[in-house]
Amino acid sequence: MGKIYFPQFKNGKDGFEIHPGSTILDYAQKLKIKINAECGGIGKCGKCIVRIEKGKENLNSKTSSEKKFNLSEEYRLACQTKIVRNVSDVVVYIKDFGEYEILKSGLEKKVEIYPLFKTKNGKVYKNEVEIENYKGGIYGIALDIGTTTIVFNIVNLENGDIVGTIARTNPQIVYGNDVISRIEYTMIDKKEKRFLKEEERREKLVELQRSVVDLINEELRKFNSDILDKIYEIVVAGNSAMRNIFFLIDISTLGKIPYEPLNPESIVKKPEEIGLQINKNGEIYGLPLIGGHVGADVVADILASEIYKEEKVCMLIDIGTNGEIVIGNKDKILATSAAAGGAFEGVNISCGVGGIEGAIKEVKIINGKVYYSTIGDKYPIGICGSGLIDLLSEMLKNGIINEKARLKNGEFYITDDIKITQQDIFQLIISKSAIRTSWQILSKIYPIDIKNIDKIFIAGGFGNFINIENAMKIGLLPEVDKNKVIKIGNGSLEGAREVLLCYEKRKIVEEIVQKVEHIRTNEIEPNFNFLLAENMYF
């Protein structure tokens, strides 16, 4: 019997037995091999490109979906390439999409150290209750589970020091590049075109959850296996879907009207319930959700930015596949999510990529010539979100596109191989409009004139790397004095760290959630579609 091999990856070097009927993407997912499958494996995005080194005779012919992408003979789409015969081994190389540039820090403010777990007289106590003998250290983890990346701080709970930071691409990316793809993965069998039964949904949910838990366990062992039994607490932040997947809570309700999560309240679990290999007496705490797709990461952002303490009205914007916007102060807070899509993360952009090595991250156009820099100073392989914002701004400034977002010649080349098309621009202005419309409506409901906003906090990895002036020029961010704009970095990670270090902050985040009013902008604004269309222009 033949095997399928993925020689680039540790998991794929020994091979996996071939069972005709499965696609190459199916095998990659079984082996937990990273592959860019943004559309969730339905042949639309064209990003899961693989090279067949050996065993073409086992495969189906190229599908109509593959033919649309004009792939050369040796290249296929993993989601469309099915093994239909078992006459020899199959050797597959995945087109490398690199490691993401991951934002590993937030504000790292000074926090009162009063953790849940403490040491006294040679013993470890949880909330003043003795649980076991002191083993030479008490540690905790602040964990931010993002759709694209996972970042966690390992924190010494005795002095507050961060002893290590681990950042990795979220392994769930093999199931789809965005939240919607992963929700659909737990709901729908796309091959048979049917909704999954409850037990099938549970299996898929466990599969997604285990991929993250296994990564965390493995990274902790690599960091220091001796520390595992000294880790007593983990505080988890993430968007509604990511948090609930981690705690094995059904996420299908996030994919159906009214798009609300189950169990939005905070969660406390034992390590064995989650599968984490830390001290068995430890505790896993999940920050609460606000509502809809406004999740625990936004709660952590609010805590980190301290909007909830502000006298004057402030705004917080976290730009991602589902952008979140918060506006308010100590008296009143509104929050919403914007279905921005993944255009600014490279999704559905012909030469778009995520924030990975080789991605064009900065662009300038001077006298008709394009100048750029890439992440890691690598050879350019595509253009990421910060580069796309710069490019739109520079093209607008240089008259290459007009205020109605029309590109004069249909396409514009950044390098000999990397270009932006009119269709790409259409995708980008839809995303831009979703974010802009959301903060406009929130400011109208609050109500407050944008010019009177005291501060605008920009949270998240993408926001940390963008050029603020260019983002304002294209209308993504409000046009205010740029000194009012404060980048807080990974606010989700920072908020989780603060809760980890100070048990009293659990009470604060619970109070924050009760205070925030979740707004559905499309339901509350009668002219929503008109504003959305109008805001597509510059």
Give the structural domain span for 41: 3-94
More confident residue, 197 or 176: 197
Burial class (CB in 10 A: 0-12, 13-18, 19+), 451: exposed
pLDDT-derived band at 397, boundaries 50, 70, 90? very high
Q: In 10 A of CB 338, how many CB atoms?
A: 26
| For range 100-120, the mean pLDDT | 77
What value does the mean pLDDT take over residues 121-138? 96
Domain CATH code at residue 530: 3.30.420
Domain assignment present for residue 80? The answer is yes
| 132 and 236 together in one domain | yes
**115 confidence band (pLDDT: 50, 70, 90):** very high
Closest CA to 65 of 23, 21, 97: 23
Least confident of 74-78, 144-148, 325-329, 397-401: 74-78
**What total number of domains does the chain contain?**
4
User: Do 220 and 308 belong together in one domain?
Assistant: no
CB 482 within 8 A of CB 300: no
Please indicate, yes or no, if residue 184 is contained in any of the structural domains.
yes
**Which pLDDT belongs to residue 103?**
55
Same domain flag for 325 and 364 = no
The first and second tokens of residue 488, run together, are 């807080």
Same domain as 292, residue 302: no
Within this chain, do residues 85 and 165 fall inside the same structural domain, yes or no?
no
Mean pLDDT computed over 418-428: 93
149: confidence class by pLDDT, cuts 50, 70, 90: confident
Q: Is 447 exposed, middle or buried (0-12, 13-18, 19+ CB in 10 A)?
A: exposed
Long-range (24+ apart) CB contacts under 8 A made by 325-328 are 325/435, 325/438, 325/439, 325/442, 326/298, 326/301, 326/302, 326/516, 327/439, 327/442, 327/443, 327/446, 327/448, 327/453, 328/446, 328/516
pLDDT at 10 over 80: no
pLDDT (0 to 100) of residue 101: 56
**Are 388 and 484 in a shared domain?**
no
Instruction: Note whether 198 and 173 are same-domain residues.
Output: yes
Q: What is the pLDDT of residues 255-281, one digit of tens each?
A: 999 999 999 999 999 999 999 999 999
Residue 72 burial (CB count, 10 A): 6
Q: Is residue 102 part of a domain?
A: no
Both 470 and 334 in a single domain?
Answer: yes
Q: What is the pLDDT of residue 354?
A: 75
What is the overall mean pLDDT for the chain?
91
Is 368 within a domain?
yes
CA angle 98, 354, 419 (to 5 degrees): 105
pLDDT band at 346 (very low <50, low <70, confident <90, very high): confident
Confidence of residue 378 (pLDDT cuts 50, 70, 90): confident
Q: 244 lies in a domain?
A: yes
Q: Does residue 109 belong to any structural domain of this protein?
A: no
Q: What is the pLDDT of residue 164?
A: 93
Structure tokens at 471: 């983002």
Q: Are residues 36 and 60 in the same domain?
A: yes
Return the structure tokens found at 370.
């394009």
pLDDT at position 7 is: 79
DSSP symbol at 417: S
Q: Could you tell me the CATH number of the domain that includes residue 277?
A: 3.30.420.480
Please indicate, yes or no, if residue 112 is contained in any of the structural domains: no
- Alpha-carbon 510 to chain mean position: 24
**Contact between residue 334 and residue 516 where contact means Cβ atoms under 8 Å apart:** yes
In a domain, 111, yes or no: no
- Tens digit of pLDDT for each residue in 71-104? 777 789 999 999 999 999 999 887 655 555 555 5
Is a pLDDT exceeding 80 seen at residue 8?
no
Tell me which of 387, 421, 455 is where a domain ends.
421
Domain-terminating residue out of 401, 421, 441: 421
Residues 438 and 461 in one domain: yes
At what angle are helices 491-501 and 504-515 packed, to 10 degrees?
130
Would you say 383 and 351 are in contact if contact means Cβ atoms under 8 Å apart? yes
3-state secondary structure of 237: strand
How far apart are alpha carbons 439 and 537 in whole angstroms? 16
Whether 251 and 393 map to the same domain: the answer is no
User: 351 and 324, same structural domain?
Assistant: no
Tell me the C-alpha distance between 13 and 432, whole Å.
42
Please report the DSSP string for 500-516 in residue order. Answer: HHBTHHHHHHHHHHHHE
Domain termination site, one of 369, 386, 421: 421
> pLDDT confidence of 524, banded at 50, 70, 90?
very high
pLDDT digits (tens, 9 = 90+) for 19-56: 899 999 999 988 888 787 777 788 888 888 888 888 99
Over residues 395-408, mean pLDDT:
93
pLDDT at 95: 64
| Sequence-ordered strand ranges (E) for 213-255 | 231-238
Q: Which residues, in sequence order, are CB contacts of 511 under 8 Å at separation 6+?
A: none
Of 33 and 529, the one with more pLDDT: 529
How high is the pLDDT of residue 102? 54
Which letter, b or e, does each residue of 296-334 get, where b requires 16 or more Cβ atoms within 10 Å of its Cβ? bbbbbbbbbbebbebeebbbbbbbbbbbbbbbbbeeebb
Q: What is the pTM of this model?
A: 0.84
Q: Which of 304-308, 349-353, 457-461, 492-496 has the lowest mean pLDDT?
A: 349-353
